[in-house]
Amino acid sequence: MTTDVTTAKEILGIYQPGSTHMVGDGFPVRNLFPSNDLDRSVDPFLMLDYAGPQHFSATDHSRGVGEHPHRGFETVTIMYDGAVAHRDSAGNSGVIGSGDVQWMTAASGVVHEELHETQWAKQGGTFQAIQLWVNLPQAQKMSAPRYQTLLDADIPAVALEHGAGRLRVIAGTFQGQKGPARTFTPVELYDLQLEAGARVELTLPEGQSTSVFVLQGRLSVNGAKSAGEAELVVLKRQGSLVVLEVEQESRILIMSGKAIDEPIARYGPFVMNTKAELVQAVEDYQAGRMGHLS
Ligand code: MN
């Protein structure tokens, strides 16, 4: 007799972008959360912005977001098309292009800028990226900032069985391949390209908050009605099995993480545990204690 304890995760809901706006003058985003009030369903994730795909004409102007702070969490920028240059008050800087990921741990606080990279902007082109915010446990919210540039070449790509497509492991593990991101709580972050007609079964760590974001294409998750461009399928925590049935060639992002389950207090670019900590964050920023760009 075989014992199979793998249970399929139930669908909590399928969500369309809850808001559409420009971030600075460089990032035309569709927001999936927090605009959809998903709250604890996506814990440890705090925010998901899908930028583009949008064509930008050639310019000498630096489009993007100028100096601004963050405290209490991590910002993860996944580039699909285009290039972003980043600089922060902890002295880190870098450029990420197609296939690269920047994993910035703001923790106790940084001030940074995120701009279209100069040479890319001079030529123009299609810009497509995701920014995901990952919360930090209380114990790490005031730890030192850090910065990880995860280059395309360092992100393992696993060929899926039966020519179903490929899966890039940004964080966590898939079929023994470990993603390069160092995380504070267990996170699986996968970038998938899937062929029409494919059926893919994934087993994620039991009990995580899991969601599937569709950048392009159309597919069904665990037998629900299918989801298309810019839709987010949110699964319930219980269970571990995710089955994808691909109707049209698709590009998707799977986010799964162990919920932190601590109080969340948020105000713009600061996410802490209490209101008093938010007041402190604003004071510290205004007093220059998160530094400045040189
Ligand atoms: Mn930022």
For the stretch 34-50, what's the b/e string if a residue is b when 16 or more beta carbons lie within 10 angstroms of its beta carbon? bbbebeebbbbbbbbbb
Ligand 1 centroid to Cα of residue 40, in Å, is: 22
61: CA distance to ligand 1 center in Å? 19
Instruction: Check residue 65 and give its pLDDT.
Output: 97
Q: How far is the CA of 226 from the centre of ligand 1 (A)?
A: 32
Q: How far is the CA of 110 from the centre of ligand 1 (A)?
A: 9
For the chain, the average pLDDT equals 96
Residue 25 CB burial class (10 angstroms; 0-12, 13-18, ≥19):
middle
Element at 121 (helix H, strand E): helix 118-123
Query: Measured in angstroms, how far is the CA atom of residue 24 from the centroid of ligand 1?
Result: 10
CA of 5 to the centre of ligand 1 (A): 41
CA–centroid distance, residue 106 to ligand 1 (Å): 9
HSE-CB for 223 with a 13 A CA cutoff: 4
3-state helix vs strand vs coil in the chain, percent to 5: 10, 50, 35
Please give the pLDDT value at position 4. Answer: 56
Q: What is the pTM of this model?
A: 0.96
Phi-psi region of 37 (alpha: psi -120 to 50; beta: other; left: phi over 0): left
Q: Across the strands, what pairs with 276?
A: none
Residue 273 CB neighbour total at 10 angstroms: 17
Residue 66 token pair: 């100028």
Q: What is the pLDDT of residues 142-151, one digit of tens each?
A: 999 999 999 9
43: pLDDT strictly greater than 50: yes
Distance 151 CA to ligand 1 centre (A): 19
Nearest residue to 180 via CA among 192, 190, 194: 190
The percent of residues in the chain predicted with pLDDT above 70, rounded, is: 98
In this prediction, residue 38 carries a pLDDT of: 95
- Residue range 243-250: average pLDDT? 98
Question: If you measure from the C-alpha of residue 263 to the centroid of ligand 1, how many angstroms do you get, rounded to a whole number?
Answer: 22
pLDDT for 111-130, tens place per residue?
A: 999 999 999 999 999 999 99
Per residue in 90-112, pLDDT (tens digit) is 999 999 999 999 999 999 999 99
Over residues 169-186, the pLDDT tens digits come to 999 999 999 999 999 999
Give mean pLDDT, residues 71-83.
98
d(CA 185, CA 158): 23
For residue 45, the CA-to-ligand 1 centroid distance in Å is: 15
How many angstroms separate the alpha carbon of residue 74 from the centre of ligand 1? Answer: 10
pLDDT, residue 2, reads 47
